Amino acid sequence: MANHWSVSLLPSSGVFQLSLSESRGVPRKTKMNLQQFMGRYVIVEINDDRSLNGELRAIDNKGNLLLSPVSERLKSTSCVRQLYHLSVPSDCIKSIKILK
C-alpha cells in the first residue's frame, strides 16, 4: 500500500487535519494548510460509492476544492466519467487522500 495523506477539515477554522497513513508504523497526525498540496493528485471520497480523482487546482477559505482534470468513479456500476474542471463543496467531502 502506498503512502497517502487522509485529510479532514476542522469545522469553521479553515485548517485541515492530516493523517499520514504509511505502509508500516503508526499513522502520524499534523495540521497544515492544504494550499501546500496544489498540483498534487488527490482522491476525494464523496461517499462509499463515489470518488473523484484529479489534480488539486484551487481551494477557497471554506474548504471547497477545484479539481482538474477529474475521473469520477462509481463503484456500484464500475462507471468512470472523465470531466475537465469540477468544484467540490467541502460539506460533501467524506475524505481526501493526497498521493505522495
Asked if 9 and 90 count as a contact pair (C-beta separation under 8 A), the reply is: yes
Provide the number of structural domains found in the chain: 1
Domain extent at residue 40: 4-99
Take residue 85 and report the three cell numbers written for it: 474542471
> What CATH number is given to the structural domain containing 77?
2.30.30.100
SS3 16: strand
Instruction: Of 20, 23, 82, 11, give the one whose Cα is nearest residue 53.
Output: 82
| pLDDT tens, residue order, the chain (100 aa) | 455 555 555 544 445 555 555 545 555 555 566 677 889 998 898 999 999 999 999 887 777 889 999 999 999 999 999 999 999 988 888 888 877 6
Distance of CA 96 to the CA centre of its chain: 3
- The verdict on pTM exceeding 0.75 is no
